[in-house]
Amino acid sequence: MADSTRVIEKPKTKRPKRLAYNRAKQQEYRLRIKDAIATCQAQVVQLEAELRRVASIPAPSRIRVPTLSWQDVAEALADSVDDVQTDYASLVRERDARQELLRQMLSFVEIHHHVGRSALSGTDRNWTNVTLLTHAASRRLGMEWITGHLYHNTERMLARFAFPPPLDAVDDCVVDASDLDCMQYAMRYQREIRAPLDATAALIRTLERQGDPIDAHLWPADGSARIVLDEVAGGASTNLRVLSVHSHHFYTDTGQFLPLADEAKLWRSLLDSATPAHLQWPRYIQHMTAVARSFTQRLFANLETKRPTLPR
């Protein structure tokens, strides 16, 4: 009879593979530990070398700062608080002053808005009704504003009235008669003063303050006068340029300009019916030139009288 007994085989185990994997992981771990130890040993060598280097440097002498008591610290903090409060009060006063200045300048601008932006574009302006406020800071700013308007176009004004190049002498009167009903007179004067700029400017200011202005009784006081001082190269001389402009007179009630004969009388020139019409204008021009030269002659005489006191 056939043997029907079955042979039961044992299942294959995974143990050998697991053991091999664990051995590989342990070997990798040991290698990492070995690398870390080698790195630390190298760092130890470097740190020991750095320690020896630092130890060889002489240690600086150290001043032991005494410890402050809490009372001293509190007193110092109180002083700091006082300083901060003082600064704060000062800033508050400055803020109030600036706000007041702003209010004053807004008032100043409102009063003088009629001057307009074109005042700086070269357009002539009448400054008769321009005033300053009593507030000190706004008064100073207003003065700077007016001064900027009056003198920003100095070169344009000198070119307009055909001033010669610096140091070229001129002494005459230019009459703009393009409109005989509205004439304009421009006295031109230019001389070299052999004295420094500062001394010459101080002399002219002195002459103006002595109660006998340089244009008194020779040129209308209400004329527009500009005195320009330029320092000559080297600083030993000053170029003095004077431009004084006066316009045709007019009636205050009607605003109409005076006829030529009446205008001439105000300048002490007699143009009556006995003077031929074709001679009236040339004689008037001749008279105005004489008026201008009398002004400049006295101006230069005053400067010559005082010039010996100027430093050279």
**97-106: per-residue pLDDT in tens?**
999 999 999 9
In the chain, the percentage of residues whose pLDDT exceeds 90 is 15
Assess if residue 215 is contained within a domain: yes
Same domain, 165 and 228: yes
Q: Which amino acid is at 89?
A: A
Same domain, 191 and 121: no
Same domain, 167 and 296: yes
End residue of a domain, out of 124, 151, 178: 151
Mean pLDDT throughout 9-31?
A: 78
Q: What residues form DSSP beta bridges with 176? A: 184
Same domain, 240 and 263: yes
Same domain, 191 and 292: yes
End residue of a domain, out of 114, 132, 151: 151
pLDDT at 168 over 90: no
Same domain, 146 and 158: no
**How far is the C-alpha of 178 from the C-alpha of 275, rounded, in Å?**
22
Same domain, 160 and 137: no
Comparing 36 with 129, the larger pLDDT belongs to 36
**How far is the C-alpha of 118 from the C-alpha of 149, rounded, in Å?**
10
Element (H, E) at 305: helix 277-306
**How far is the C-alpha of 131 from the C-alpha of 142, rounded, in Å?**
9
Same domain, 143 and 158: no
* Closest to 227 measured CA to CA, from 253, 274, 188, 170: 188
**How far is the C-alpha of 148 from the C-alpha of 132, rounded, in Å?**
15
Comparing 125 with 94, the larger pLDDT belongs to 94
Q: What are the residues whose beta carbons fall under 8 Å from the beta carbon of 204, sequence distance 6 or more?
A: 214, 227, 229, 303
Do 189 and 242 contact (CB within 8 A), yes or no? yes
End residue of a domain, out of 107, 123, 151: 151
pLDDT tens-digit map of 297-312: 776 676 666 655 555 5
How many structural domains does the chain have?
2
Assess if residue 237 is contained within a domain: yes
Tokens of 27: 């070997």
Same domain, 116 and 179: no
Mean pLDDT throughout 42-47?
A: 92
Same domain, 281 and 270: yes
Q: What count of other Cβ atoms lies within 10 Å of the Cβ of residue 170?
A: 16
Task: State the chain's mean pLDDT as an integer.
Answer: 77
pTM of the model: 0.46
Residue 69 class from Cβ within 10 Å (0-12 exposed, 13-18 middle, 19+ buried)? exposed
**How far is the C-alpha of 216 from the C-alpha of 299, rounded, in Å?**
10
Q: What is the pLDDT of residue 92?
A: 95
Same domain, 167 and 303: yes
Q: What is the pLDDT of residue 101?
A: 92
SS3 211: coil
DSSP 64: -
Same domain, 107 and 210: no
Q: Which of 57-66, 152-161, 209-218 has the lowest mean pLDDT?
A: 209-218
Which residue range(s) make up the domain with 112?
Answer: 92-151
Q: What is the pLDDT of residue 173?
A: 79
